[in-house]
Amino acid sequence: MPAYIDDIGEAVRLARRSSRIMVIGCSGGGKSTLSRKLAARLGLTHISMDREFFWLPGWVKRQKAEERQLITDTVNGDGWLMDGTGPSTFDIRVPRTQLILWVRMPRWLCLWGICKRAFLHLGKTRPDMAPGCREQLPDREFLTYIWTFERRFAPLVIAGIDRHGPDVPVFQLKSRREVSRLLDLLDAPA
pLDDT score at 153: 96
- Give the chain's domains with CATH numbers: 3-187 (3.40.50.300)
Residue closest to 98 by CA, chosen among 37, 27, 22: 22
CA dist 81 → 57, 67, 132 (Å): 23, 17, 23
pLDDT score at 189: 82
pTM: 0.94
pLDDT score at 128: 86
Q: From CA 181, how far away is CA 173, in angstroms rounded?
A: 10
